Amino acid sequence: MRSLLLIFRREFAAYFATPLAAVFLAVFAAVATGMTFFVSSFFERAQADLSSLFTWQPWLLLVLMPAVGMRLWAEERRLGTIELLMTLPVSPWKFVFAKWLAAFTFAGLALVITMPMWITVNWLGSPDNGVIFASYIGAWLMAGAFLAIASCISALTKNQVLAFIGAVIAGFIFVMAGFDLVLAAVRPWAPDVIVQVIASMSFIGHFQRITDGVFEASALVFFISLIAFALWLNVQILDARKAA
């Protein structure tokens, strides 16, 4: 446990070793605010809630979370420090989990920075704070899933740009899975059970139910299971590299 905590502290501190963390947080807050109040015509709708923020959240996280996760292993491979890490008396899963946890905590901090908007809508009206709270939890879990995917892909390459592009593509597939456009292309040749499985993999489908005020266990299980699977796959990739 102590080694896991030490790795977590090292990784989390690394985000603030350069001004990039402050720039990222500022960009995240600015883009989220712009999409909420201006792109979504918040004031024209005359409705005090944060539905406009969470409508854009999957697309915002789709781009920004891979930007956070692309360096997790690609940087270690580029610098050659991954070989040193693999020789330490620490299980690979501890490195994988600690790195992901540091990124997940950083993502949580980015979401916390947007919370003044929550105060604003309460000042303007009487929103359903339970739904807003659940939506923040759902957004954080979705961010964790994007980061787990990004971490897994980052372990495959030493090029951070390739890791970013790969993570965005993989995340985009999960975001689009529930769209009628995708399902319509699958229905003619796939059995109904395959169509249902693809639809159930949609990030937006699970997240939208949470933002609608229905915090189902299935959404929680989906995101946690996907995170666990991606991190497990991340460990297998590192083990294969260690054995090679």
Q: How does pLDDT run across 159-200, given as a tens digit for each residue?
A: 899 999 999 999 998 988 877 777 777 777 777 787 787 777
For the segment 44-80, what is each residue's pLDDT rounded down to a tens digit? 676 777 888 888 999 999 999 999 988 888 887 777 7
What is residue 149's predicted lDDT score, i.e. its pLDDT?
Answer: 95
- Give yes or no for a contact between 142 and 227, defined as CB atoms under 8 angstroms apart: no
- Give yes or no for a contact between 104 and 143, defined as CB atoms under 8 angstroms apart: yes
Domain boundaries, the chain: 2-243
Query: What's the chain's Rg over C-alpha atoms?
Result: 19
What is residue 62's predicted lDDT score, i.e. its pLDDT?
Answer: 93
For the segment 4-13, what is each residue's pLDDT rounded down to a tens digit? 888 898 889 8
Confidence of residue 43 (pLDDT cuts 50, 70, 90): low
What is residue 165's predicted lDDT score, i.e. its pLDDT?
Answer: 94
Give the residue from 96, 36, 39 showing the smallest Cα distance to 229: 96
Instruction: Report the share of the chain in percent with pLDDT over 70.
Output: 96
Is residue 136 pLDDT above 90, yes or no?
Answer: yes
Average pLDDT over residues 103-114: 94
What is residue 232's predicted lDDT score, i.e. its pLDDT?
Answer: 95
Other beta carbons less than 10 A from residue 20's beta carbon = 12
What is residue 76's predicted lDDT score, i.e. its pLDDT?
Answer: 77
What is residue 150's predicted lDDT score, i.e. its pLDDT?
Answer: 95
- DSSP code for 158: S
Report how far residue 95's alpha carbon sits from residue 67's, in angstroms, rounded to the nearest whole number.
Answer: 19
Report how far residue 1's alpha carbon sits from residue 5's, in angstroms, rounded to the nearest whole number.
Answer: 6
